[in-house]
Amino acid sequence: MAVGFAQKGWVMFFLIRFAIKFCFWMAVVSIFMPSLSDEKGGPSTIDALIAAQDTISDLSDFCTRKPQACETGKAAFANAGARAGEAAKAGYEYLDSQLGKKSDDPNSLVARAHGETSDTSETEAIKAKLREMALREIINAVAREREETSKVDAKAHTGSVTKN
Nearest to 137 by CA among 88, 78, 74, 72: 88
Residues near 79 by Cβ (< 8 Å), separated by ≥ 6? 141, 144, 145, 148
Q: What is the pLDDT of residues 127-145, one digit of tens each?
A: 888 888 888 888 888 888 8
Which one has a higher pLDDT value, 12 or 42?
12
**Contact of 90 with 155, CB cutoff 8 Å:** no
Nearest to 141 by CA among 91, 94, 80: 80
3-class SS of residue 146: helix
pLDDT surpasses 50 at 1 = no
Mean per-residue pLDDT of the chain: 75
- Rounded mean pLDDT, 51-58: 84
CA–CA separation, 131 vs 109, rounded Å? Answer: 25
Q: Rounded to two decimals, what is the model's pTM?
A: 0.31
- Rounded mean pLDDT, 12-17: 85
CA–CA separation, 83 vs 16, rounded Å? Answer: 34
3-class SS of residue 124: helix
**Contact of 68 with 155, CB cutoff 8 Å:** yes
Residues near 130 by Cβ (< 8 Å), separated by ≥ 6? 90, 94
